[in-house]
């Protein structure tokens, strides 16, 4: 066996072993002082919140690791062909800050994920443009799974990539330094210091508060999105909550005074209900609206969505236990307040209509488990409300209070955010009171693989692509139409993963689809398109321009991916 073969065999064997392992157990958190949160007041007692990092969908996690392997292995092979590395680069300490280079933020690096925008990665404090290397490596487009982020976590696993000759070669592609975002002054009393660790594959849209989405390709791998790779949407610092002291307050119409339930009571007094539901941020695919005209909001790609099983107590069971009449005409809204607080002590809050929340068929639950595991801190430990079929913003995490009310929540996020407007409305003319708060989301789909701007292989005259489709309000996906010529001709995709046994109007989870389309033997490019149809025969509009709005929400236009074809 050649040296190169032995090398690659070792890398692949090591990768296979890692892929079979679970991610490390999440750290225990705690701090002393007046900020350990209970549901109804602050506590000075020490907190210990435990959670486990999730690892499902080994196939794509392996691919994510492989992207690091591919880059390192390719640099090694390239080095073997070019043994003389420029002295200028070899004198540097790879990954360390280099005086005189431009500095780039994590958010700016995250924007460079395609060849059109140039593909950037980071290693320690260095920023590297590896675009011109992509076509040379043996792993094809797998390297793009690590684009726009750090290769450190992958190379920490595969130590062979830290050979001096490989790191020196990487320095040839250096374009700058990673911006120093935290000075010693910034870390003093920083409310985000106790935020939990996150999977390195998550691509941040913002760091404080932390908001991030996974690589888009992984979403098409597994019906249930791995917990550690589920998109994260936080509005404020992640609270530290002692589960032994947690108490959920419930008050309002039909309830005498304020009632409290502990976490143990939620788990033991009520039947444990499990549902599968997709959560999606209202700003999913906002980046496409930004290409029309800049909007205000996080620059989400198409992965601010995920599907999971959620387990907990049904909201209607809890309210009936407390003596609430679910048909009380005075109750118009159900308000949910979190335990994440702004500097003034105001909690994140939202509400949904009583017509939805108090209907047992709506399957609203007070969830304490996600994909069979205890909720992680980023996803609402110890309890979050899950309102299936409704925009993610109403699925309040770290739930501290429920109120039955005649009026909706007065929180900023209910009154002055998460609303849609006409494209002509700007920040000088907008009236948030004139529009209802978003609840159900429209039908949407996305091509997950291949990515826009990448290469796609043609095998036996056909191109293979895949993605997700979902509709709000429980409407099942009944069809996904796909095209390889920008929408001139169409065919129907295969719905490969779907909860088929559920009713047409009580399907809270997404559908994963795949398609194979014939292309011409000499065709060099293809414009892939998908559009979904739900059980009410709602379909997606063809372009994003008419959907543009100043908050960049509700983009459900056709998903498009222009790819370069490589024929086999």
User: pLDDT tens digits, residue range 236-253?
Assistant: 999 999 999 999 999 999
pLDDT in tens, 36-90: 443 443 333 233 333 333 333 444 444 444 455 455 555 545 544 444 444 455 5
pLDDT in tens, 426-436: 999 999 999 99
Active-site residue (options: 281, 286, 506, 560): 281
Q: Which long-range contacts (CB under 8 A, 24 or more apart) does 27-31 make?
A: 27/196, 27/197, 29/194, 29/196, 29/240, 29/377, 30/240, 31/194, 31/240
Residue 234: name the closest of 187, 182, 281 by CA.
281
* 281 is known as an active-site residue: yes
* 468 is known as an active-site residue: no
- Under the banding of pLDDT at 50, 70 and 90, the label for residue 149 is confident
Active-site residue (options: 51, 56, 60, 137): 137
Active-site residue (options: 76, 418, 468, 560): 418
pLDDT over 50 at 15, yes or no: no
| Cα–Cα separations (whole angstroms), residue 438 to 281, 349, 388, 411, 420 | 11, 14, 13, 14, 7
Residue 25: name the closest of 57, 53, 61, 58 by CA.
53
Provide mean pLDDT across the span 242-266. Answer: 98
- How many CB atoms are closer than 10 A to CB 271? 7
| Cα–Cα separations (whole angstroms), residue 234 to 6, 99, 239 | 46, 35, 11
pLDDT in tens, 469-517: 999 999 999 999 999 999 999 999 999 999 999 999 999 999 999 999 9
Provide the residue ranges of all domains of the chain, joining segments of one domain with +.
3-30+54-178, 247-281+305-434, 444-567
> Taking the chain, what is the end-to-end CA distance rounded to the nearest angstrom?
28
Second-level CATH architecture of 444-567: Sandwich (2.60)
* 377 is known as an active-site residue: no
Q: Provide the pairing of β-strand 462-470 with 444-449.
A: antiparallel
| Superfamily name and number for 247-281+305-434 | Oxidoreductase, molybdopterin-binding domain (3.90.420.10)
Active-site residue (options: 174, 199, 233, 506): 233
Q: Which of 68-72, 361-365, 533-537 has the lowest mean pLDDT?
A: 68-72
* 448 is known as an active-site residue: no
Second-level CATH architecture of 3-30+54-178: Roll (3.10)
What is the rounded distance in angstroms from the CA atom of residue 377 to the CA atom of residue 210?
12
Cβ atoms of 121 and 71 closer than 8 Å? yes
Give the CA-trace dihedral at 141, 142, 143, 144, to 10 degrees: 70
- Under the banding of pLDDT at 50, 70 and 90, the label for residue 568 is confident
* 368 is known as an active-site residue: no
Active-site residue (options: 60, 161, 333, 379): 161
Q: Which of 24-33, 293-302, 367-376 has the lowest mean pLDDT?
A: 24-33
**What does pTM read for this prediction?**
0.73
User: What is the predicted pLDDT for the residue at 75?
Assistant: 52
């Amino acid at each position: 066996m050649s040296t190169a073969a032995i090398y690659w065999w070792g890398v692949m064997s090591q990768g296979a072993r890692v892929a079979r392992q679970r991610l490390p157990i999440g750290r225990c958190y705690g701090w002393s002082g007046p900020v350990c949160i209970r549901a109804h007041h602050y506590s000075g007692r020490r907190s210990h919140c435990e959670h486990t990092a999730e690892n499902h969908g080994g196939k794509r996690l392996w691919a994510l690791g492989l992207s690091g392997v591919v880059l390192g292995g390719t640099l090694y092979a390239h080095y073997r062909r070019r043994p003389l590395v420029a002295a200028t680069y070899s004198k540097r300490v790879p990954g360390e800050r280099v005086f005189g280079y431009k500095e780039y933020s994590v958010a700016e690096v995250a924007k460079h994920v395609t060849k059109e925008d140039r593909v950037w990665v980071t290693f320690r404090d260095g920023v590297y443009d590896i675009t011109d290397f992509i076509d040379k490596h043996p792993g094809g487009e797998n390297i793009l799974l690590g684009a726009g982020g750090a290769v450190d976590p992958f190379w920490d696993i595969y130590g062979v990539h830290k050979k001096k000759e490989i790191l020196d070669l990487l320095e040839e592609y250096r374009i700058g330094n990673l911006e120093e975002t935290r000075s010693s002054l910034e870390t003093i009393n920083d409310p985000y210091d106790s935020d939990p660790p996150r999977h390195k594959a998550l691509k941040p849209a913002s760091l404080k508060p932390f908001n991030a989405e996974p690589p888009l390709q992984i979403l098409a791998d597994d019906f249930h999105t791995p917990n550690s790779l589920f998109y994260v949407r936080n509005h404020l610092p992640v609270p530290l909550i002692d589960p032994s002291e947690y108490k959920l307050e419930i008050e309002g119409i039909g309830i005498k005074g304020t009632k409290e339930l502990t976490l143990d009571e939620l788990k033991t007094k009520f039947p444990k209900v499990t549902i599968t539901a997709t959560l999606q941020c209202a700003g999913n695919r906002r980046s496409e609206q930004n290409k029309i005209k800049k909007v205000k909001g996080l620059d989400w790609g198409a992965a601010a969505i995920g599907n999971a099983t959620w387990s907990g107590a049904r909201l209607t069971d809890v309210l009936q236990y407390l003596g609430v009449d679910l048909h009380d005409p005075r109750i118009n809204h159900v308000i949910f307040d979190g335990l994440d607080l702004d500097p003034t002590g105001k909690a994140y809050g939202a509400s949904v209509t009583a017509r939805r929340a108090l209907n047992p068929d709506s399957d609203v639950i007070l969830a304490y488990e996600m994909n069979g595991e205890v909720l992680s801190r980023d996803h609402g430990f110890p309890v979050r409300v899950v309102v299936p079929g409704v925009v993610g913003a109403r699925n309040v995490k770290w739930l501290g209070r429920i109120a039955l009310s005649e009026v909706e929540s007065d929180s900023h996020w209910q009154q002055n955010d998460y609303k849609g407007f006409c494209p002509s409305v700007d920040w000088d003319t907008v009236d948030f009171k004139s529009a209802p708060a978003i609840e159900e989301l429209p039908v949407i789909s996305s091509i997950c693989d291949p990515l826009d701007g990448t290469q796609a292989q043609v095998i036996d005259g056909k191109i293979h692509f895949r993605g997700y489709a979902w509709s709000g309000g429980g409407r099942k996906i009944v069809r996904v139409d796909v095209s390889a010529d920008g929408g001139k001709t169409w065919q129907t995709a295969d719905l490969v993963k779907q909860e088929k046994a559920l009713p047409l109007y009580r399907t809270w989870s997404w559908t994963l689809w795949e398609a194979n389309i014939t292309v011409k033997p000499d065709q060099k490019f293809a414009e892939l398109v998908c559009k979904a149809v739900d059980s009410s025969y709602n379909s997606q509009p063809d372009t994003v321009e008419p959907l543009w709005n100043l908050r960049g929400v509700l983009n459900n236009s056709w998903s498009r991916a222009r790819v370069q074809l490589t024929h086999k």
